[in-house]
Chains A and B, each alone.
Chain A
Amino acid sequence: MPEIHLSQLVKRYGKTEVLHGIELSMAENEFTVLVGPSGCGKSTTLRMIAGLESVSDGEIYFDGKPVSHLEPKDRDLAMVFQDYALYPHMNVARNMSFALRLEKRPKDEIDRKVREVAATLGLSDYLERKPGELSGGQRQRVAMGRALTRDASTFLFDEPLSNLDAKLRGQMRAELALMSQRVQKNMIYVTHDQIEAMTLADRIVVMHGGYIQQEGTPEELFKRPINRFVAGFLGTPPMNFLGANIEQRGDEAFVAGDGFALRLEGAQADAAKKHSAREVTVGVRPSDIDYAPDAPSDRALTLQPLVSEYIGAQSVLLCENKAGNVTVEVKSETPVALGEPLTFAVNPERIHLFDRQSEAAL
């Protein structure tokens, strides 16, 4: 429920600084997803919000009140730990009801709540088992259940579904999406799974090396990444990057690289003209390239498909080109011959340009 604000949050372990001034506001009842490569500081951020790690510098505000001096129990939050952190000596039911029992809730209420949550998580048959007698995925669900029985105002999830099989993960994801609509809670969620991030988030925060790279709605981040890192991090298969230069030919702007010259359109062309002859990296998502033998050369790439990976309705083609390797996503039925140079059309509106040096979007 509270509006959470991280103000210039810094974390140091001894001399090494792992978070360098995180500035982030999370509105009331917002579902915020933190993503980023391993070791970028997601768990550390979450643990500082929870009060498990001390704040080296900066402050955390809940509804405008500084909380960094408060114990975790005074921050009214529930958390799912990356390593589950179950109580080894308690069975599943007691693990899930620990917080409620500490609050001295009536026994039948606790029982009801535990059974209800256990049922949604598919744990009803395991209530009497100790964590040591469960599989990894079952333990992870217990960790999830322990948070979901709580009535806290903020929920922190640290990769809560990472160990579940695809089907179960889909179910849990739907369950979480439902829950976040139904109850008015703040959710802060760390994940490596792009689908989870895209489907659950009101807002995604991309972190890298202890800095926030970009934050925004999933759509904003996907369509307008502000730098090469964000562009390459979100989206599967990842975006293709090709080295090129901006060239102005008469009234038109092109990005030209080894063996290709793509004409830019609209606002991007206007912007590009200001950076004539600039060295850039061209970014194109595999889904924005399509097999089109008749495409005009100013919006086409000549690629030589080497491998075709069949993934159902789509196939991913790994292709070679003078400027480097390019992946293309095409409909499975598209007739492509491997090993031959073929013409692929690029959607000109979906071309991303990044400065070669600073890697920032132009």
Chain B
Amino acid sequence: MNSANRLTPYLFMAPAIVIMGIALIYPLGYMMYGSLLDWNPSQSIEEAEFVGLKNYITLWGDPNFHESLAVTLIFAFVGVSIELVLGVGLALLLDRNLRGMTLLRTMFILPMMIAPVVVGLMWRYMFHPTVGTFNRTLEALGLPTVDWLGQNALLSVIIADVWQWTPFIFILSLAALQSLPRSALEAARIDGATAWQQIIHIKLPLMMPVLIVTGLLRLIDAFKVLEVILVLTEGGPGLSTEILALRISRTATEFRELGVAAAMSNYLLILLMLLTAAMFTLSRIQEIRANRVRAAAEEDS
């Protein structure tokens, strides 16, 4: 009776687990297996030759892969950092009840709703060296023009990503801000905190859990971004904006090496998992340290 009771929850979870297993584990396993093959798209998976870890080893020493990895890391970390600063900053500014604020907030999140391909096209037009909005404006102001999608391609790509995804961080930060305990902020005002001190000492620390998750979601997303860059630069000039997702897709389609593409995907997956694990370990360590300090203090007294 007792053991039946304990098992009941798992029984109810079983359907979900089965579906998860099929939907998640199977494709993942397929990709794992594929990465161990020398496999080209015209072959079925049974015809492909098993080569063990060869794909991984080749990639490990491949300077093009290294460059692509570096571009991805720069793109993701720089982009997401800027987005965090801007998004949180905007949320702090707009967290007030003024007339018209709802409309303003809605407008801020519009970029997020536009399809990435359209965003890419839009920015490609605006970045155009001669007829683009930016260079025409610079010219009109008598300033030197910028070679947006040439020398500064990575920067331009980051700008487009920041434009599209800052709103995501903005809404989540705003939601976090508005659910902060009002009374704690009032107490801080009584305790003499200036607006800036309230942000530093009360708002940001209380928002931190939400910010960590938001940042993580954005990082994961940024590591996989494809369409905007494909439309904007196609990874060029040279390899300067060829992020991993793009390289993976080209490896699979242009170079026709499915095994290598799968191995590259797995590297990306490992990277993301490490990142996530690092985040959670970090917050866990902080928690443990706080507990230890407290335990010590309570033993003393």
Which A positions have Cβ atoms within 8 angstroms of B? 50-52, 71-73, 77-79, 81, 83-89, 91, 98-99, 102-103, 124-125, 127-129, 146, 150
Contact = CB atoms under 8 A, between A and B. Distances in A.
B187 A81 contact: yes
Contacts of A81: 183, 186-187
Contacts of A91: 294
Interface in B159-206: 181, 183-184, 186-194, 197, 201-202, 205-206
Contacts of B114: none
A83 B294 CA distance: 25
A73 B187 CA distance: 10
B189 A71 contact: yes
Contacts of B186: 52, 72, 81, 85
Contact of B181 (A85, A128, A150): A85
A73 B188 CA distance: 9
Contacts of B192: 73, 99, 102-103
Query: For chain B, which range describes its interface: under 10, 10 to 19, 20 to 34, or 35 or more residues?
Result: 20 to 34
A335 B192 CA distance: 61
A87 B188 contact: yes
A81 B191 CA distance: 12
B189 A52 contact: yes
Most buried by A among B191, B192, B194, B197: B191
A89 B193 contact: no
A250 B187 CA distance: 65
B301 A98 contact: no
B13 interface: no
A86 B190 contact: no
Contacts, number: 67
B187 A85 contact: yes
B297 interface: yes
30 contacts: A50-B190, A52-B186, A52-B189, A72-B186, A72-B189, A73-B191, A73-B192, A73-B193, A77-B190, A78-B191, A79-B190, A81-B186, A85-B181, A86-B187, A87-B184, A88-B184, A89-B206, A99-B192, A102-B191, A102-B193, A102-B197, A102-B201, A103-B192, A124-B301, A125-B298, A127-B297, A128-B297, A128-B298, A146-B191, A150-B191
Contacts of B190: 50, 52, 72-73, 77-79
A98 B189 CA distance: 11
B293 A128 contact: yes
Most buried by A among B187, B189, B202: B187
A78 B191 CA distance: 7
A81 B189 CA distance: 12
Contacts of A83: 183
A248 B265 CA distance: 104
Interface in B204-260: 205-206
B187 A87 contact: yes
Contacts of A102: 191-193, 197, 201
Contacts of B294: 91, 128-129
Given A128-B298, A146-B187, A146-B191, A88 B293 contact: no
Contacts of B301: 124-125, 127
B206 A73 contact: no
Contacts of B191: 73, 78, 98-99, 102, 146, 150
A124 B206 CA distance: 26
Contacts of B201: 98, 102
Nearest to B293: A128
Nearest to A71: B189
A86 B206 CA distance: 12
A125 B186 CA distance: 27
Contacts of A71: 189
Contacts of A79: 187, 190
Contacts of A73: 189-194
Given A125-B298, A128-B293, A98 B183 contact: no
Nearest to B181: A88
Contacts of A84: 183
Contacts of B297: 127-128
Nearest to B296: A128
Contacts of A85: 181, 183-184, 186-187
Contacts of A86: 184, 187
B191 to A, nearest CB: 4
A68 B184 CA distance: 22
Nearest to B295: A128
B208 to A, nearest CB: 8
Nearest to B197: A102
Interface string B259-301: 0000000000000000000000000000000000110011001
Closest 4 CB pairs of A and B: A85-B183, A99-B191, A128-B297, A128-B294
Nearest to B297: A128
Nearest to B182: A85
A68 B272 CA distance: 53
Contacts of A150: 191
A116 B290 CA distance: 24
Contacts of B298: 125, 128
Interface in B123-181: 181
Contacts of A51: 189
Given A84-B183, A127-B297, 13 more contacts: A51-B189, A73-B189, A73-B193, A79-B187, A85-B181, A87-B184, A98-B191, A98-B193, A98-B201, A125-B298, A125-B301, A128-B293, A129-B294
